[in-house]
Amino acid sequence: MRNTDYYSLSQLSTSTVTGTTACSFVPKRSSLARLFREDPGVKGCGWFAPYREQRFHVLGNVIRVLFHVIFAPLASIPFGDALGNAVYNFVRRDWFGERLDTPHAVLRYPPPSTPLIEKSLDSGSDISLPVATSDPDVYESLSYKPRWMLEVTIRNGQYTSHKQINWVADEVGPSYRYTAISYDMESASELFSKAGKHAEDPSPEGKKWSLADRKRISKQLLIEYCSANRDRQVPLDRTEFIWLDEFCVSEEGEGNSYRDADELRTERKEELGRLTDIFRGAHTVVVFCQETGCDHTTLGCRWGQRLFTLGEILHANKVQRMTRKTMPGKDAKSTSFLYSESAQSFRERMMHHAAQANKWHLHALLRQSNNSGSETWQSAIHALMVEAIRRDKETKYRNHELLAQGLNGLLPRRAHVRHLTGKDGWADLSWLLELNQGFYNMATLAAVCSLNDSPKSGNGWLGPPVEPKAGQERLEPLVTAFPMVAKEETTCLNIVGAENIGLYPSPRRDGKALYRNPALMRMKIISTALLVTSWITGIILLIVALAQVFQLIPQNFQANPSSNLAQAGGLLMYLSSIVFVIFRLITGTWHLERNGWVFLSEGRMNDGQKGDLAWGSRPELVLGQIDDDLGTLAEWGERQMAPKWDSPTGGMKGHLVDLRAGIKVRVVVTGRPNSMVVLALHGSGVTYMLLNRPRGVGQVAEKLGMANLPPFTLAITKKGGSVRVGIASESPEKKKGFWSFLWSGNGHLDFRF
């Protein structure tokens, strides 16, 4: 492998891939053929129509060659190209698009009153925004008291009756302790079925049970709890205060069966928002699942896989394990047993099983719960986010409508339940994290989030997170990220101090390879020396001819007439320039530009982009036909234990290729990226977010994928102010041309600066 300016890449993998994707066949072509018709998938050097599939591609190359031949003396001087590029870049520079907009803080406008983004400072237009206060009420105060409770009567060790009481209004709470039951509804349903009972109501749309059936199922669990065998002696006749969700999240009584459905839903939602505090305030938390002999501490327990398990057990004071056991005998009946232990001991065993299963985020949460302060807030909140999203996904809540409600109360700052609408779980999560901006940098969450199946979900950047594995646990944010209000009343991720690397849509032919490609260094020295020698000789002949014209040299020393010397000198300079320029043009067809990173898709993307080519799963095979020095690429990936993000439905495989260092990185994207922004140190590399970043100020970039690249890439990033990532606009504003900016709509030049 050739040398690189950064460091030796001898340790990188160059292993072959057995199952390769079919790639386009690009035959090796002569330099003369490339001079007039470029290879497929490569951007040529023509002045217009640089791709071979464009209509006037050959014409653009012919005009370029003719210009260089006709004006060979000028074209042979590198200063001529530099001057032309400077003029071209000056004309194309967007001097008129640098005015800023003024986005609003997310917390200033609580949901659902999110405002539109303001226009430019110079627009002069009035913006109609919702009324906001300088100190909006966004924080929920601690509220650990449940509103309602069940007063359960037990006689002779069996359930007799229950009634709902107002735990706050009746002032029962300060005098009595209560028990909270944590369970899996599927397990309670099995218990309900084994008791010979069945659902009586039809299933509502999108739900498995009606509210009435859920109460019937929960009541069977309550009956089982009251009659369970206990490891500690309790009176057979007693009264217990029990919090059971289906009976305690809304008010019961006469007339409540005819209540408005929306009102009932709002009341249930508000009480569920206190779930973490309710279980924190309980004297005992009873844990139940239907599996025989389960102690509820393993990851196979259905109770332990729930999202709400985190809020119910992390702050529990005392635990009773309600376990089903099969009694010996002919009938082999299953009976429930209650085993009491400290919550810390229970979490210790959960932590042990989490470590055995490599669930390190769950392990960190349990360790933080048992030993407060063992984790920083940044680490603890990140572990909580990843673990909660994973649990929510595994329990089929793919829209994550209850995600923020399950987390509310576990973070340093809690949200008002009314602000967690439940319509968009990702938006609720974003709001909850912004409330905790002093404790958590969202760049770490963005670094581990995969792509969603739907590009509009997750506010355009949130998605299923990757879990930590050996070699991938190092995660240090390199930027600061937080949500902000973008256009069309949506919330996007604002990455402050963004460092970017541009991505080329296709490789570009290096028309100046003779000047800057190290492989042509010897040819450059020899050809330049011959050109300079020819020019010096021609200049000497011109000087001699001029001296003869002005009679500075005696006539007896004249070997030839002055006109012949001038013609010979000029012809020598012109012909040598033509030969040099043609040689430079030909060498310009040998190599590709070594100017950074390019995205190469395995198959055709069919997105209308010029140069669309199927590069296959081993792009070096195609690149080697286009540029001999790129026939071998080192791969950054498995050998470096780079993280792998989940692939979305419809994702397209491809490679990020560094043509300068000769490295390739496998990626999965939902479109063709044109930029990547730094997020965090991740494992042995640096994690980037792949973006489709539109031109112009104040535009929102679209997340297209994730990639982990070598650390040396930080040396070639470009510093920026901020990058906004969110849902892409369906009809992006077209960028105006240079002359459109100069000429205002009233027919006069606009010179306002």
Taking 50 as the threshold, does the pLDDT of residue 118 lie above it?
no
pLDDT of residue 266: 77
Pick from 10-24, 222-236, 552-566 the range whose average pLDDT is largest: 222-236
Beta strand 700-709 pairing with 491-496: unpaired
pLDDT of residue 630: 87
Name the CA dihedral angle for 36, 39, 40, 44, rounded to a multiple of 10 degrees: -60
Question: Under a CB-based contact definition with an 8 Å cutoff, are residues 377 and 411 in contact?
Answer: no
Higher per-residue confidence, 132 vs 426: 426
Higher per-residue confidence, 735 vs 620: 620
Q: How far apart are CA 691 and CA 671, in angstroms?
A: 9
Q: How far apart are CA 503 and CA 600, in angstroms?
A: 10
Question: Under a CB-based contact definition with an 8 Å cutoff, are residues 471 and 684 in contact?
Answer: yes
In a domain, 172, yes or no: yes
CA atoms within 13 Å, Cβ hemisphere of 585: 26
Beta strand 148-155 pairing with 238-243: antiparallel
Lowest mean pLDDT segment, chosen from 22-26, 348-352, 390-394, 575-579: 22-26
pLDDT of residue 588: 86
Rg of the chain (C-alpha set): 36
**378: nearest Cα among 468, 444, 434, 428:** 444
Confidence of residue 174 (pLDDT cuts 50, 70, 90): low
Residue-by-residue DSSP string for 647-674: PPTT-EEEEEEETTTTEEEEEEESS---
The mean pLDDT of 586-608, rounded to a whole number, is: 88
Query: What sign does the dihedral 707-713-714-716 (CA atoms) show?
Result: negative
pLDDT of residue 80: 58
**320: nearest Cα among 298, 301, 337, 300:** 337
Q: Quick one: DSSP state of residue 153? A: E
**560: nearest Cα among 548, 570, 572:** 548
Strands (E), 467-567: 475-477, 480-485, 491-496, 499-504
In a domain, 129, yes or no: no
Q: How far apart are CA 425 and CA 376, in angstroms?
A: 26
Residue-by-residue DSSP string for 41-83: T-B---SS--STTSTTHHHHHHHHHHHHHHTHHHHTSHHHHHH
Q: How far apart are CA 181 and CA 222, in angstroms?
A: 9
pLDDT of residue 93: 54
pLDDT of residue 414: 86
Taking 90 as the threshold, does the pLDDT of residue 223 lie above it?
yes
pLDDT of residue 744: 46
Q: How far apart are CA 679 and CA 707, in angstroms?
A: 10
Neighbours of 264 (CB within 10 A): 16
Neighbours of 628 (CB within 10 A): 12
Beta bridge partners of 708: 687
pLDDT of residue 456: 64
Q: How far apart are CA 149 and CA 430, in angstroms?
A: 32
Both tokens of 296, joined, read 């509820």
Question: Under a CB-based contact definition with an 8 Å cutoff, are residues 387 and 364 in contact?
Answer: no
**586: nearest Cα among 3, 61, 173:** 61
Q: Please state the length of the chain.
A: 753
pLDDT of residue 739: 45
**182: nearest Cα among 319, 340, 294:** 319
Helix segments in 329-473, DSSP class H:
343-356, 360-370, 377-394, 403-407, 425-435, 443-448
Give me the phi and psi of 143, to 5 degrees please: -140, 85
Question: Under a CB-based contact definition with an 8 Å cutoff, are residues 621 and 23 in contact?
Answer: yes
The mean pLDDT of 436-451, rounded to a whole number, is: 91
The per-residue pLDDT for range 727-749, each reduced to its tens digit, is 876 655 555 544 454 444 444 44
The mean pLDDT of 145-152, rounded to a whole number, is: 89
Taking 90 as the threshold, does the pLDDT of residue 594 lie above it?
no
Taking 60 as the threshold, does the pLDDT of residue 493 lie above it?
yes
Residue-by-residue DSSP string for 335-358: EEEEEEEEHHHHHHHHHHHHHHTT
The per-residue pLDDT for range 359-371, each reduced to its tens digit, is 999 999 999 888 8
Q: Cα–Cα–Cα angle for 681, 683, 685, nearest 5°? A: 60
Higher per-residue confidence, 576 vs 270: 576
In a domain, 388, yes or no: no
Q: What is the mean pLDDT of the chain?
A: 80
Name the CA dihedral angle for 601, 606, 608, 610, rounded to a multiple of 10 degrees: 40
Q: Quick one: DSSP state of residue 476? A: E
In a domain, 125, yes or no: no
Confidence of residue 253 (pLDDT cuts 50, 70, 90): low
Both tokens of 570, joined, read 């000029």
Could you tell me what percent of the chain has a pLDDT over 70?
79
Give me the phi and psi of 50, to 5 degrees please: -75, -15
CA atoms within 13 Å, Cβ hemisphere of 440: 25
Give me the phi and psi of 513, to 5 degrees please: -60, -30
Residue with tokens 């001819």: 545
The mean pLDDT of 126-149, rounded to a whole number, is: 64
Confidence of residue 239 (pLDDT cuts 50, 70, 90): very high
Q: How far apart are CA 411 and CA 722, in angstroms?
A: 27
Question: Under a CB-based contact definition with an 8 Å cutoff, are residues 446 and 701 in contact?
Answer: no
Question: Under a CB-based contact definition with an 8 Å cutoff, are residues 673 and 633 in contact?
Answer: no
Q: How far apart are CA 466 and CA 369, in angstroms?
A: 23
Tell me how far the alpha carbon of residue 253 is from its chain's centroid: 49
In a domain, 626, yes or no: no
Confidence of residue 654 (pLDDT cuts 50, 70, 90): very high
The tally of domains found in the chain comes to 1
pLDDT of residue 697: 66
Q: How far apart are CA 584 and CA 592, in angstroms?
A: 14
In a domain, 367, yes or no: no
Could you tell me what percent of the chain has a pLDDT over 90?
29
In a domain, 477, yes or no: no
Residues 324-328: contacts with CB under 8 Å, at least 24 apart? 324/290, 324/291, 324/292, 324/293, 324/294, 325/292, 325/293, 326/292
**351: nearest Cα among 377, 370, 372, 378:** 370
Residues 6+ apart with CB under 8 A from 593: 507, 508, 509, 510, 659
Lowest mean pLDDT segment, chosen from 171-180, 405-414, 460-469, 658-667: 171-180
Domain limits for position 176? 140-201+208-252+262-357
pLDDT of residue 722: 86
Is 752 exposed, middle or buried, given 0-12, 13-18 or 19+ CB atoms closer than 10 A?
A: exposed
Query: What sign does the dihedral 667-668-670-671 (CA atoms) show?
Result: positive
In a domain, 643, yes or no: no
